[in-house]
Amino acid sequence: MRPPLHGTETLPGSTRFQVWAPRLDRLSIRLERREVPLARSPDGWFGAEVPGVAPGARYVLVLPDGRTRPDPASLRQPDGVHGPSQVFDPGAFRWTAGGWRGLPLEALTFYELHLGTFTSEGTLDAAAARLPELVDLGVSCVELMPVQPFPGDRNWGYDGVELHAVHEGYGGPEALQRFVDRAHGLGLAVCLDVVYNHLGPEGNYLAELGPYFTSRHRSPWGDGLNYDGEDARPVRDFMLEAAVRWARDYRVDALRLDAVQAIQDDSPRHLVGELCDRVAEVSRETGRQIHVIAESDLNDRKVVEPGPGGWGACAAWADDLHHALHALLTGERGHYYADYGRPEDVQRALLQGFVYQGQRSEFRKRPFGTSTEGLLPLRFVACLQNHDQVGNRPFGERLTALVPWEALAPAAAILILGPALPLLFMGEEYGESRPFLYFTSHGDPALARAVSEGRKKELIAVAAGRPIPDPQDPQTFEQSRLTHRRSGRHGALREVYRQLLAVRRRHAAAIGAHWPEVARDGRAFTVRRPGLTLRANLGPEPAGGMPGWGWGVEEG
């Protein structure tokens, strides 16, 4: 395997430090009792092998003017994003599930969870203790929202700045290794959400070191990352090495790449494609099945196509089924839901993955999407709910607050026994009634005010005069914690999910390999494959021989 270029490498009796900082003429590291200058190469790399430095040692980078900074490729940040870094040896962990080789793509059913709100403790160890419940539910892959360090103790994770490390409030890097080992021992795969389209605004010191960012590209978060300009190679490697670490050192089974449409890269080989290549190398070298899943709103087949013209991801999020179901069930037509709401949109999503394959989108005011012809259903991931679709609403309402309770089971059946790989959002399976809100805990007062005011201004037009929850208020975070309810109708709904997932498991290979036949009678759908027929009525009136909100499954 390739040695890392960025950060630290633990060696027998010493530690190697390497930092790319071409904007500096000198750089040193300060350890507990000494300061060590790093040698500079002509291309801006600083490095030194320092004897006697072992895992656990804390260090900071010392800039020429005396300011100190954490290592941007730190493997551990025990005191947060502004504090000193700590040497960590990921190879020291003793794995107990060494025989684990991963799961094939068609077997993946995702359960997306946010570590801070999944349990009262909000840690990886506490979440690991609840993994047997997910085994009983029948999902096969736990998808963790980002675990990289962020400012404060409350955040969705998309404000991460130390992209090679694990947030200390979640337990730090060893806790992630324990979580993955526990999951593998129970037969569960682990998918990690990673963000390579931007870094968070607080604790992000990369621009002081070198041209990690460029004004040639702009994103919703400011300057884009320099993936394709002068001196882009070290920037690309900074991100690629982070991805490789998760696959190699933490043994995750899949990476979910956040918002790949916002990764702006005009290189001959797009960053997503090169990342897929690097992860495939780890898969070959370790003998484990490791998948790269791209979150994409592009409706573009190039995301999953191999070869020079494609990016080569194993699968991509396909939002159209979510949008079609949500608009049909709720009647909402704002924003991108303006393009959906007809029963035939649900039908087409089930038949072909994308609803929009080149026809005009009224929301976008242009043709949108590409054909899915020749792509297998297992190349798509679909959901009824996820953190974005729930949390980006002004009040974080889950589907339970928007549709009749009776609608939840037939909608779940359409998702789980539909053609795409299904993704559940934590609590969905029992009808969690608490919201999932947007929350932060920035320490910079000016940034905290800007986030609170920006959220208010962004959503005031759709808030109907109600005060929008303040992301910085700890109560916004507390309101989002799961209740894990099992009594009454919550337990009954969970049992429906459990049964549907069991059916999916029995037919996974066939579902992933063949698009179904889909007949429709009004809002009632019949989804057929050899050996499996699903009937689901997504309306309150009888249709298709079913009562309102009725559903049923036939096997054989």
Q: What is the pLDDT of residue 390?
A: 97
Global pTM reads: 0.97
| Catalytic residue, candidates 193, 228, 241, 295 | 295
pLDDT at 1: 59
Mean pLDDT value of segment 30-53: 96
Which band of pLDDT confidence, cut at 50, 70 and 90, is reported for residue 307?
A: confident
Lowest mean pLDDT among 29-33, 206-210, 516-520, 531-535: 29-33
**pLDDT, position 463:** 59
Instruction: Give the lowest-confidence range in 76-85, 253-262, 304-313.
Output: 304-313
Give the model's pLDDT for residue 220. Answer: 72
Condensed to tens digits (0 to 9), the pLDDT of residues 183-203 reads 999 999 999 999 999 999 999
- Given its phi and psi angles, is residue 391 left (phi above 0), alpha (psi -120 to 50 degrees) or beta? alpha
Q: Residue 287 pLDDT more than 60?
A: yes
pLDDT of residue 192: 98
What is the pLDDT at residue 464? Answer: 62
Second CATH level (architecture) for the domain 105-196+237-442+453-515: Alpha-Beta Barrel (3.20)
pLDDT tens digit string along 229-261?
999 999 999 999 999 999 999 999 999 999 999
Closest Cα partner for 384 from 432, 450, 455, 452? 432
| pLDDT tens for each residue of 154-172 | 999 999 999 999 999 999 9
Is residue 462 very low, low, confident or very high in pLDDT (cuts 50, 70, 90)?
low
pLDDT of residue 457: 78
Catalytic residue among 112, 202, 258, 319: 258
DSSP, residue by residue, 302-365: GGT--STTS---SEEE-HHHHHHHHHHHH---SGGGGG---HHHHHHHHHHS-S-SSSEETTTT
Indicate where the chain has its CATH 3.20.20.80 domain(s). 105-196+237-442+453-515
| pLDDT at residue 460 greater than cutoff 90 | no
In the chain, where does the domain assigned CATH 2.60.40.10 lie?
Answer: 7-89
CATH number for the segment(s) 7-89: 2.60.40.10
Average pLDDT for the chain: 96
Does the pLDDT value for residue 461 go beyond 60? no
What 3 state SS string does 98-165 have? CCCCCCCHHHCCEEEECHHHHCCCCCHHHHHHCHHHHHHHCCCEEEECCCCCCCCCCCCCCCCCCCCC
Cα–Cα distance measured from residue 200 to residue 514, given in angstroms and rounded to the nearest whole number? 41
* Pick from 217-221, 286-290, 315-319, 368-372: least confident: 217-221
Q: Above pLDDT 90, what percent of the chain?
A: 93
Catalytic site includes residue 295: yes
In the structure, what pLDDT confidence band is assigned to residue 309 with cuts at 50, 70 and 90?
confident
User: Cβ contacts of residue 182 below 8 Å, gap of 6+?
Assistant: 128, 131
